[in-house]
């Protein structure tokens, strides 16, 4: 091992070299520390880039299909005479209508509570 380390340092190896053996170990530890730091940096970069990805592709397909169905069920087309209050009571009878109206307005990016017949609304 000492011969390899000396060659890495560019030194010629002689029999009976007076250089202490602990310096070879120190060089080896430095090399191991450098390799550890390189690996740690690489691991951190990869982890940051893939942490938002799902564990497997199957869950993505199932989740996307479920979300699509849920989004399709959450659409409502406003009818003549509808108000946000009526819609909130119709779809969320056990919840506070004021809270649901605010959520409907937020989901649909509405500034006022006025709606028109035929207008599609996303329901939270």
- Mean pLDDT within 8-37: 74
pLDDT of residue 39 exceeding 70: yes
Q: How many CA atoms lie within 13 A of 14 on its CB side?
A: 5
pLDDT at 25: 78
Confidence of residue 124 (pLDDT cuts 50, 70, 90): confident
Architecture per CATH, 57-122: Roll (3.10)
Distance (Å) of CA 113 to CA 38, 80, 120: 57, 15, 14
pLDDT at 80: 92
- Say which range, 38-42, 72-76, 95-99, has the weakest mean pLDDT: 72-76
If you average pLDDT over residues 62-89, what whole number do you get? Answer: 76
pLDDT the model gives residue 23: 76
HEC string of 43-85 equals HHHHHHHHCCCCCCHHHHHHHHHHHHHHHHHCEEECCCCCCHH
How confident is residue 19, by pLDDT bands cut at 50, 70 and 90?
low
Domain boundaries, the chain: 2-50, 57-122
């Amino acid at each position: 091992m000492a011969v390899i380390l000396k060659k890495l340092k560019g030194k010629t190896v002689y029999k009976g070299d007076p250089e202490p053996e602990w310096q070879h170990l120190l060089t080896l530890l430095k090399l191991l520390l450098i390799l550890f730091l390189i690996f740690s940096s690489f691991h951190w970069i990869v982890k940051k880039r893939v942490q938002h990805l799902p564990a497997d592709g199957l869950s993505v397909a199932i989740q996307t299909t479920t979300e699509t169905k849920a989004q399709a069920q959450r659409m409502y087309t406003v009818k003549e005479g509808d108000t946000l209050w009526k819609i909130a009571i119709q779809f969320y009878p056990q919840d506070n209508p004021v809270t649901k109206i605010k959520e409907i307005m937020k989901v649909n990016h509405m500034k006022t509570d006025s709606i028109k017949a035929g207008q599609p609304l996303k329901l939270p």
